[in-house]
Structure 1
Amino acid sequence: MDEQTRYEAVSSRDARFDGEFFFAVTTTGIYCRPSCPAVTPKRKNVRFYPTAAAAQGNGFRACRRCRPDAVPGSAEWNVRADVVGRAMRMIGDGVVDREGVPGLADRLGYSPRQVQRQLNAELGAGPVALARAQRAHTARILLQTTDLPVTEIVFASGFASVRQFNDTMRQIYARTPSALRAESGTGTGPGGGARERSRAGIPLRLAHRGPYAAREVFDLLAADTVARIEEVSGVPGHRTYRRTLTLPCGAGVVAVDEASAGPWLEARIHLTDLRDLTTAVQRLRRLFDLDADPRAVAETLGADPLLAPLVAARPGLRSPGAADPDECAVQTLVGPVVAAGLVERYGKLLDVPCGGLTRLFPEPGVLADRAEDPGLRRLAAALADGTVRLDAGADRDAAEEALLRLPGVGPRTAALIRMRALGDPDVDPDAVPGSEAWRPWRSYAVRHREAGAAGVSPGRRRAATRPPPAGRRTAPPAPSSPSRA
């Protein structure tokens, strides 16, 4: 997009471009999302930035009305397999907060200077600035949805000191932390609404762009649930998906509702350590494929005569990822029934059970030592020692090649792991003739074909064990609480 096209998107308040770029107004010192409902500024006063961090780095503060820090992430980072795309996925997962820029660079296989230079060149901000913008958003969520003391929020959101926290919040939001909290009515003391919210978990609105085919996503999740770590309750249209998470600093339990009153999914997150909030949110976003651009997918797939009616019938159909890539790889290999047995035998118990959720999925090292199946042991050992990397910033080609070197992992299984565990939007496990025309959205074509053929997407195991005949093509303003993330 050139700047004139961007300005036209701003003038028409086109929400399709929220998160794809940001605009700032020099006369007000404020930056916004393209769909901001405020009066459109004059073109001469507008500056465009690829990321919120770039706008913040140039001295602009976040708009109070449109909350540009809460938009869906750019769909570009899911598609791109280069160092910038991989870095953005890892920063979103909290790698810079936990390991610093050297840790990020080491995972990417580049020097810190190279990573800094490439991110600055394309995004207008380096890894520290990008992580800082993310910390500020996490802090705002905690301020406005919990009654935690500010000193706890400082470190839970990844800041190194209270002073750094205060300076950042004033710079980005032009308010003090206490003023941000006062806007939402939190911190009202014992018995207040904030304390009730804390007991119910951290409420969030997980924003997405464009239409969202929630029914199909929840159908897929319901078909694949693994007892003790996942469950889906309710009736279609009003279901809740709940699961446990193993996170860097502790455990978590999350719940996401199918029904929604706006362009978001309602969620609640319970964490044993609040430092995991950013990571938990990003993993939910990948699981529900919330950063996708359904318009771009529909434009490509809708041009195929066989897919066009399927795309028209299910606008906003997503290609779900995985909340835990290693867990997803194991489930793809053995299926949800066997996986449930592994959870029962080797999964760590939650400190506090939550309904039917009682355990965490066993770590790869545990399965490598104790699992009986030789193929599973080999996969688990490769995940545990890093021979196979499936983290947010893993090189997708290298991961698939490493999987194929493992005895018992065939091309279709490796492709399914790549599609779900690595969130690759361009995978065709069936190698359908002519699917090259569906690039870079072949994973979405898979979901459309499944939905059209069966009315509900089959589970990972069913897809892996009963492939279709080779060569066959089957036609067939936001409130302060909960916060958007």
Structure 2
Amino acid sequence: MSEGSKYEAVCSRDARFDGDFFFAVTTTGIYCRPSCPATTPKPQNVRFFPTAAAAQGTGFRACRRCRPDAVPGSAAWNVRADMVGRAMRLIGDGVVDREGVAGLARRLGYSARQVQRQLNAELGAGPVALARAQRSHTARILLQTTPLPIAEIAFAAGFASVRQFNDTIREIYALTPTQLRAARPGKATRFGPVAQPAGAGGIPLRLAFRGPYAAAEVFDYLQRRALTGVEEILGARGARTYRRTLRLPGGSGIAEVDERPGGRADGSGGGWLECRLHLSELRDLTTATQRMRRLLDLDADPYAVADHLGQDPLLAALVARRRGLRSPGTCDGHELAVRAVLGQQVSVPAGRKLGTAAVAAYGEPLAEPSGGLTHLFPAVEDLAGASLAALGMPDSRRATLRTLAAALADGTVPLDAGADRDQAEKELLNLRGIGPWTAGYIRMRALGDPDVLLEGDVAVLAGMRNSGATMADSDAWRPWRSYAMHYFWNAKAQPPAPAPVAP
């Protein structure tokens, strides 16, 4: 995208590009998202940056009006399978905060110097600067939504010291932490009503997305697969709340997400989903947020998907019928892989029944149950050595499950946010009892690959027949075949309920 095109997007305040790039104004020292409602600067006073960290590293501070640190992530990291894309997903998951640059490089299979050089060359910032920008965003959320002491917030956000925390906040926001807390907005903006400070309801967040978002279809998908004890759906369609437990690096958590999106009624320009996080360890806030974003596919670019798939006459009607359809991922790759094996060769309800039995027999009970949430999903280390007799499956499938759990536990099959997709699929197929459908399903959801087609899936084939499509047509759907599958899965579904009319 040329600088001229970027400037046109800024002039039109085009929210489609929020998160794809940032612009800074040299006369004010402020950087913004493309849709910032402030007066458009002259082109000679504008500089463009691929990341917020790059703008911060050049000395610009975040705009207090458009809050550029709260934009959706770039959809490029979902598509790209190269080292930079994998690194960005790992940094988002908090790997640099937990393991440092050396840990990031080890997971990627490169030297720390190579990782630093490539990130700087392409993104204008290295892994430390990218992680620092993320920590500052986490700190702002905690400052403005919780009554926690500032010193606790500093360490919860991942800073090594209070002094480092104070210096970073002053540099990025041009305010001290105390002033940033006092400056909490108290009224609605064009980016939505501001969340109120947290109390018993957990830490409130707005999970931003770009373009239209087919929330009803995403929540239907999750509801059909929800496991008792780990997940629950409350409320009626259109006003549901999805709740689930989370196994996180520092402890456990519970996430709640409301179905009804905030933003414009027509879905243009993006919006957000209201989320509340209850965490046993506040250091897990960034990781928990990113994992829920992956589960709900909030960093996708629905415009790119619709423009590409909508050109195919076999898919055009399906794309027009369900604007903003997403491809749900997962908040835990190990959990998703185990659930994929449990669902092999059986229906979705049967797979759900087996998953619920696994939770009841081998799940870790929560210290304090919350409503219908009572357990964390079983750890793969526990499943690898269990008899699995409580599941009532054939011996061969129990052996497959134990083999998979052992491979996940010892790292033979890596399924973290930055795993190499091709290598992970190859290792999965080397396991006895894992076939192309299971490996592809894990690749699509656990590794977030937007270009997977499960050729042997009965429901996909039925949806294709209903639409007049065949596998011979599938090359035209690249690189969005995962989304094409979701359109086919929904091809026989009832038409979505009409959106509520805004008062």
TM exceeding 0.5? yes
Q: Is the 8 A contact 2:147 2:197 kept in 1?
A: no
**Distance in 1, Cα, partners of 2:197 & 2:120:** 42
Q: Is the 8 A contact 2:145 2:203 kept in 1?
A: yes
Aligned partner letter, 1:247: L
Q: Note the 1:225-304 alignment, pairs <5 A.
A: 225-262=226-263, 263-304=271-312
**Distance in 2, Cα, partners of 1:93 & 1:251:** 15
Q: Note the 1:98-113 alignment, pairs <5 A.
A: 98-113=98-113
What's 2:167 paired with?
167
Deviation larger for 1-10 or 363-372: 363-372
Counterpart check, 1:440 vs 2:479: yes
Counterpart check, 1:203 vs 2:204: yes
**Distance in 2, Cα, partners of 1:427 & 1:279:** 25
**Distance in 2, Cα, partners of 1:157 & 1:433:** 50
What's 2:490 paired with?
451
What's 2:34 paired with?
34
Deviation at 1:121, TM superposition (A): 0.3
Deviation at 1:184, TM superposition (A): 2.4
**Distance in 2, Cα, partners of 1:256 & 1:249:** 21
Counterparts in 2 of 1:195 and 1:444: CA distance versus 1, 3 Å? closer
Deviation string 1:224-269 (CA, Å, 9 cap, x unpaired) is: 0011000111111000000000000000000000012310000000
Q: Is the 8 A contact 1:219 1:456 kept in 2?
A: no
**Distance in 2, Cα, partners of 1:445 & 1:341:** 32
Aligned match of 1:357 in 356, 364, 373? 373
TM-score under structure 1 normalisation? 0.91
Deviation at 1:304, TM superposition (A): 0.7
Deviation string 1:371-408 (CA, Å, 9 cap, x unpaired) is: 43111000101100111111000000001011111111
SS of residue paired to 2:455: coil
What's 1:55 paired with?
55
**Distance in 1, Cα, partners of 2:449 & 2:387:** 28
Q: Note the 1:3-402 alignment, pairs <5 A.
A: 3-184=3-184, 197-262=198-263, 263-334=271-342, 335-372=351-388, 373-402=398-427
SS of residue paired to 1:211: coil
Counterparts in 2 of 1:201 and 1:14: CA distance versus 1, 3 Å? same
Q: Is the 8 A contact 1:142 1:153 kept in 2?
A: yes
Q: Is the 8 A contact 2:145 2:197 kept in 1?
A: no
Aligned partner letter, 1:39: T
Q: Is the 8 A contact 1:37 1:66 kept in 2?
A: yes
**Distance in 2, Cα, partners of 1:384 & 1:340:** 21
**Distance in 2, Cα, partners of 1:65 & 1:273:** 30
**Distance in 1, Cα, partners of 2:495 & 2:484:** 14
Aligned partner letter, 2:53: A
What's 2:347 paired with?
none
Q: Is the 8 A contact 2:96 2:104 kept in 1?
A: yes
Q: Is the 8 A contact 1:220 1:456 kept in 2?
A: no
Aligned partner letter, 1:59: G
**Distance in 2, Cα, partners of 1:121 & 1:28:** 26
Counterpart check, 1:422 vs 2:411: no
Q: What stretches of structure 1 of length at least 5 have no aligned partner?
A: 187-193, 458-485
What's 1:411 paired with?
436
Instruction: Identify which of structures 1 and 2 has the higher relative contact order when contacts are C-alpha pairs closer than 8 Å and 6+ apart.
Output: 1
Deviation at 1:20, TM superposition (A): 0.1
Deviation at 1:342, TM superposition (A): 1.1
Instruction: Tell me the percent identity.
Output: 68
**Distance in 1, Cα, partners of 2:239 & 2:425:** 37
**Distance in 1, Cα, partners of 2:16 & 2:172:** 24
Q: Is the 8 A contact 1:3 1:48 kept in 2?
A: yes
**Distance in 1, Cα, partners of 2:368 & 2:324:** 37
Deviation at 1:336, TM superposition (A): 2.1
**Distance in 2, Cα, partners of 1:294 & 1:210:** 6
- The structure 1 segments of at least 4 consecutive aligned residues displaced by more than 3 Å after TM superposition are 454-457
Aligned partner letter, 1:24: A
**Distance in 1, Cα, partners of 2:200 & 2:149:** 15
Q: Is the 8 A contact 1:216 1:456 kept in 2?
A: no
What is the number of residues matched between the two proteins?
451
Deviation string 1:143-186 (CA, Å, 9 cap, x unpaired) is: 00000011100000000001100000011011111111112289
Q: Is the 8 A contact 2:215 2:261 kept in 1?
A: no
Aligned partner letter, 1:325: G
**Distance in 2, Cα, partners of 1:337 & 1:325:** 20
SS of residue paired to 2:472: coil
SS of residue paired to 2:433: coil
Deviation string 1:263-283 (CA, Å, 9 cap, x unpaired) is: 000000000000000000000
**Distance in 1, Cα, partners of 2:451 & 2:9:** 27
Aligned partner letter, 2:152: E
Q: Is the 8 A contact 1:155 1:275 kept in 2?
A: yes
**Distance in 2, Cα, partners of 1:220 & 1:291:** 18
**Distance in 2, Cα, partners of 1:337 & 1:130:** 42
Q: Is the 8 A contact 2:196 2:204 kept in 1?
A: no
SS of residue paired to 2:154: helix
Counterparts in 2 of 1:34 and 1:82: CA distance versus 1, 3 Å? same
Q: What stretches of structure 2 of length at least 5 have no aligned partner?
A: 187-194, 264-270, 343-350, 389-397, 457-470, 497-503
SS of residue paired to 1:198: coil
Q: Is the 8 A contact 2:302 2:324 kept in 1?
A: yes
SS of residue paired to 2:198: helix
Q: Is the 8 A contact 1:147 1:195 kept in 2?
A: no
**Distance in 1, Cα, partners of 2:481 & 2:262:** 30
**Distance in 1, Cα, partners of 2:94 & 2:382:** 25
**Distance in 2, Cα, partners of 1:343 & 1:393:** 27
Deviation at 1:195, TM superposition (A): 10
